[in-house]
Amino acid sequence: MSAKKRMGSGKRNYDSLVFWMVILVILIILWSISTSSGDKIEKIEFSGFLQQAKSGNISSVEIEGQNLTFSVKTDTLVINGKTLDTKATKFKTVLPDGYAADLVKGLSESYPDLKIEVKKPAEGGWLNLLITWLPLVLIFVFWIFIIRQMQGGAGNKAAFSFGKSKAKLFDDNKQKKVTFKDVAGVDEAKEELTEIIEFLRNPKKFQKLGGRIPKGALLVGSPGSGKTLLAKAVAGEAEVPFLSISGSDFVELFVGVGASRVRDLFEQGKKLAPCLIFIDEIDAVGRHRGAGLGGGHDEREQTLNQLLVEMDGFDANEGIIVIAATNRPDILDPALLRPGRFDRRITVTTPDVKGREAILKIHAAKVPLKKDVELALTARSTPGFSGADLANLINEAALKAAKEGREEVLQEDVEYAKDKVMMGSERRSMIISNEEKNITAYHEAGHALVALLMPDSDPIHKVTIIPRGIALGLTQQLPTDDRYTLSRRYLDAQLAVLMGGRIAEEVFLGTMTTGAGNDLKRASSLARKMVCEWGMSPLGPIAFEQKEEMVFLGKEISSKREYSEATAVQIDQEVKEILLSAYQVAKKILSENRDVVEGIAKALLERESLGSDEIAAILRQEKGDDAFANVYKVLRSEGDIEQVQEEEAPPVTEAEEEPKDEAEEVHG
């Protein structure tokens, strides 16, 4: 592999050198032509000039320092046995030292009609040199700039190589090697990719049983889940050449370039076979063909068509496996996803608690942690975090420790980083009036108490009235376990928590603010899903609405409503009943625990942030030790056992957003 690589690199360097030499020669010729005059200059001895002067054959004389240029009257002149056409020829000679003045005087007296021009010797040799060579240099620089622009900045490639692939060949000698040991939390994906690598290393093991090598594997997952890292690990583990390219590298200004680059990419792969080709963000060229109101993008579709042919056409590309990554599998063309092209679809999910702990250990190995730092506790308190989020968490903790001059990262640094990643940076410099602080404190106290007393709600993690990110205040809940299904009880509890802020404003302040806008929006969306998608209403187990489809992906411009107007009215009524029920539940909790809400709000105004233990202490102080034995269990009779399949639930944060304009302020 290395020999092929060196040969290819040497050939490209040689071609590039030859090209630039040709360009330089052409520019020098053009410069010479442009700077040359129309007359030919013939050098002769000074005695030759004196001979022509004595015979009266001089028509004009030009003297510049010791250089003398003259022309003659006759049409021809014999010099050194060579006949010259004097109409297009001037003669040049060098004057002896101190002879110029006497010569001019003598010629003027002898030939009054003779045209004599005397110029001052040129000064500033460097200036003349600069003036002479500056146009050539500017032309050369201009050509280099134009060619580099045409090549997309690839200065080491031959000019006009638009159709050449921009794929990079992985070199474990120059690039940092990433292996499967550096990847955690995606064991299933690692297992499938390991099988592909083994197939390339020992294909006879599978072929003797009639198995054929897979054509491609598609890595699907949310941003930050580790798709590109997995590809890098494959490059580090594979003992075969690994070519990597981005989907956007196929897109170019010129027509047909994308398809040409696809062909060149697979030509490189054939020369290096068996090999792996990795295409990152394949959705840049793999979108639905003919999508959108105005038809498809012809250039992109040509590129996709060529990719389809190369992956599974008449000319089989044996020994080439294509690995692609995307976070938008829904927009890919169906022809790209069929067996024979991408045979395997590998889902890269967000890690569970064990996966998160393993990821934290990998990133923490590069950071000096104090021995009492509990990464397992951090893993349990970060459900829904991707690998990128966890890497960012460790980095933020290290930055905080370095900022405060410590040599080790403490547990408090990790907790600070977790809050910063989840809720945003604190903005203590933001000026907020006492009235707004009071409203925010009661608003968040309402969220906190309802979340604390509802038995199926996620536990309270932290409540703060310190502005973070775009929020004026936050009530943060963290699930104790990873959730993959959401029960009716859990959803009812979430709705009640969302209503707690608005009700606290009404009950304790006698007013309403725009702070509950985001809460009401989320609650309404959740209640509508309960009715229309999850069948959690008296209307029955019926899905009334389909997910919205996007026109630019080739979907319908308008959606069909497959139910009557009467059913639509019933849906709206059921959504309203669910929301009002949650409203009444939250209002009952807050009304019967006014002293607790007052205590939480007062503590928030004093300390600005409260943890779950501090809130529980306030509840025990006001209600006694048996306060948690009398939690409210208000559930709809028809919603006791329903569950809905969902993705892992992220941490729930009730946020108070900043005012969007001068007349509007938003609380969480």
Residues with catalytic annotation?
444
To 5 degrees, how large is the angle CA 4–CA 194–CA 191? Answer: 160
- Burial class of residue 307 (count of CB atoms within 10 Å of its CB; 0-12, 13-18, 19+): buried
The count of residues in the chain is 668
Cβ neighbors of 215 (< 8 A, separation 6 or more) are 311, 312, 321, 322, 340, 341, 342, 343
Judge whether 266 and 320 are in contact, CB under 8 Å: yes
SS3 content of the chain, % helix, strand, coil (to 5): 50, 15, 35
Give the list of residues 6+ apart from residue 187 with CB closer than 8 angstroms, or none: 355
HEC per residue, 363-422: HHCCCCECCCCCHHHHHHCCCCCCHHHHHHHHHHHHHHHHHCCCCCECHHHHHHHHHHHH
Q: Torsions phi, psi of 545, nearest 5? A: -130, 140
Is the peptide bond preceding residue 650 cis, with omega within 30 degrees of 0? Answer: no
Asked if residue 164 lies in contact with residue 152, where contact means CB atoms within 8 angstroms, the answer is no
Instruction: Give the CA angle between residues 82, 85, 88 to the nearest 5°.
Output: 135
CA pair distance 61, 116, nearest whole angstrom: 5
| Residue ranges with strand state E in 292-357 | 320-326, 344-347
d(CA 568, CA 44): 107
Tokens 């999850």 correspond to what residue? 534
CA 282 to chain centre: 14
Cβ atoms of residues 466 and 425 within 8 Å: no
Q: How does strand 115-119 pair with strand 471-477?
A: unpaired
CB 226 within 8 A of CB 391: no
Q: Is residue 556 a contact partner of residue 549, using CB atoms and an 8 Å limit?
A: yes
Q: Is the peptide bond before 274 cis (omega within 30 degrees of 0)?
A: yes
Other CB atoms within 10 A of residue 403 CB: 9
CA 344 from centre of chain:
25
Gyration radius of the chain's alpha carbons: 40
Cα angle for residues 578, 580, 586 (degrees, 5° grid) = 105
What is d(CA 431, CA 434) in angstroms, rounded to the nearest whole number? 10
For residues 591 and 449, the answer to whether their CB atoms sit within 8 Å is no
